[in-house]
């Protein structure tokens, strides 16, 4: 059996790796396909990451190049982390998989199933039922979220605070904002000093560090990183899970990472304040509501909420001191939105691909 994994962006890779490891046990022929960008430094980072997997890989120029390659290879399965076009052509030679790269509240979680792949693996029975009702002809299988398997099974996680130059005796904050809508611009320039009693790990979205549109975000992050209690993860450190494992509390905004960290039974603080573009404010606020679907209301239950940067200090201190307060609600919500947390999601996906 041959399986190809389409890596539209490098941060899709952590979702694939546990499944790849499971497939290796069955001597599967595995290939990775990534995309060249206009950024030569980023291209080198991507190539290094692919080399580290010790798997066969190919770097293509664009989707049309990838499509031509897939049609020629005629693999049994092609795995995608996002929606793609030309599925009818692909299905003439291969079956296709969607493993959505995030589990968060953005409406795109649902929208990507408008053009159905052969199978879409989803996280939890509630999400599966919602998708099945929206797309009755789709094939949705509740597998759980494979990306979390290494953390649940305590495998392949090697980072330590000391290795990052941080203090092992301090509690650690992981700040993992998304690129839009983001809270980064509304944090204080004195963030590092305001939280000097904590280690701070900055793990922004891939786009915040790579897209020209978000250069202001990158500049803010780099200014905080000048402080000795702060570590800014580079573009090449693409696996957020590594940083989750060594952190005590996470700050985020509209990121699916909120569900991931809560699934590890750790407290999450929802930064419910965002820098919105003019086209998302006032009479255009409906655009913001459309981008963030109604399931964001679950954050009110799952997280400790900070309505402003000024509120963060007290909320963080309380979460670090009392991490167990929302333990039961974390379990209940993660059962619905992340699915089975038994460390066997990748095995279920692997078994499905082999048996079909």
Q: What is the pLDDT of residues 218-274, one digit of tens each?
A: 999 999 999 999 999 998 898 888 999 999 999 998 777 888 899 999 999 999 887
For residue 281, what pLDDT is reported?
A: 47
Divide the 356 residues of the chain into consecutive groups of 10 and give the mean pLDDT of each group: 96 94 95 94 94 97 98 98 94 96 70 89 89 94 94 80 96 91 92 98 91 92 97 92 94 84 93 64 50 64 92 97 94 87 96 97
For residue 15, what pLDDT is reported?
A: 92
Pair 2, 20: CB distance under 8 Å:
no
For residue 244, what pLDDT is reported?
A: 93
Q: What is the pLDDT of residues 67-115, one digit of tens each?
A: 999 999 999 999 999 999 999 999 999 999 999 887 765 666 777 888 8
For residue 287, what pLDDT is reported?
A: 54
Q: How far is CA 349 from the centre of its chain?
A: 18
**Alpha carbon distances (Å) from 215 to 36, 148, 177, 205, 251:** 21, 30, 15, 13, 21
Nearest to 144 by CA among 169, 127, 130: 127
Q: Tell me how far apart the alpha carbons of residues 126 and 107 are, in angstroms, rounded to a whole number.
A: 15
* % helix, strand, coil for the chain, step of 5: 45, 15, 35
For residue 284, what pLDDT is reported?
A: 44
Going along the chain from its start, the domains and CATH numbers come out as: 2-145+341-355 (3.40.50.2000), 156-337 (3.40.50.2000)
């Amino acid at each position: 059996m041959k399986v190809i994994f389409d890596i539209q962006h490098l941060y899709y890779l952590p979702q694939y790796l546990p499944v790849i490891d499971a497939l290796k046990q069955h001597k599967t022929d595995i290939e990775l396909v990534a995309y060249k960008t206009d950024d030569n430094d980023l291209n080198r980072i991507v190539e290094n990451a692919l080399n580290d997997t010790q798997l066969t890989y190919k770097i293509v120029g664009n989707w049309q190049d990838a499509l031509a390659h897939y049609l020629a290879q005629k693999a049994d399965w092609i795995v995608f982390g996002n929606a793609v076009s030309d599925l009818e052509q692909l299905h003439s030679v291969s079956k296709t998989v969607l493993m959505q790269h995030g589990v968060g509240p953005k409406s795109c979680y649902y929208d990507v199933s408008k053009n159905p792949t052969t199978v879409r693996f989803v996280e939890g029975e509630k999400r599966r039922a919602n998708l099945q009702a929206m797309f009755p002809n789709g094939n949705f299988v509740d597998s759980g979220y494979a990306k979390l398997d290494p953390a649940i099974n305590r495998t392949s996680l090697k980072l330590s605070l000391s290795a990052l130059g941080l203090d092992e005796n301090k509690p650690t904050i992981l700040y993992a904002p998304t690129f839009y809508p983001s809270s980064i611009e509304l944090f204080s320039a004195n963030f590092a000093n305001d939280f000097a009693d904590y280690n701070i790990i900055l793990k922004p979205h891939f786009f915040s560090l790579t897209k020209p549109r978000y250069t202001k975000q990158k500049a803010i992050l780099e200014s905080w990183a000048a402080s000795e209690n702060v570590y800014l993860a580079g573009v090449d450190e693409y696996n957020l899970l590594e940083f989750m494992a060594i952190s005590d509390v996470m700050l985020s905004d509209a990121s699916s990472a909120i569900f991931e960290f809560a699934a590890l039974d750790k407290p999450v603080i929802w930064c419910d304040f965002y820098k919105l573009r003019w086209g998302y404010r006032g009479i255009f606020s409906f655009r913001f509501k459309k981008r963030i679907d109604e399931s964001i209301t679950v954050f009110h239950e799952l997280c400790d909420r900070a309505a402003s940067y000024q509120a963060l200090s007290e909320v963080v201190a309380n979460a670090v001191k009392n991490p167990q307060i929302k333990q039961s609600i974390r379990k209940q919500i993660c059962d619905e939105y992340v699915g089975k947390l038994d460390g066997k999601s990748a095995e279920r996906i692997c078994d499905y691909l082999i048996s079909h």
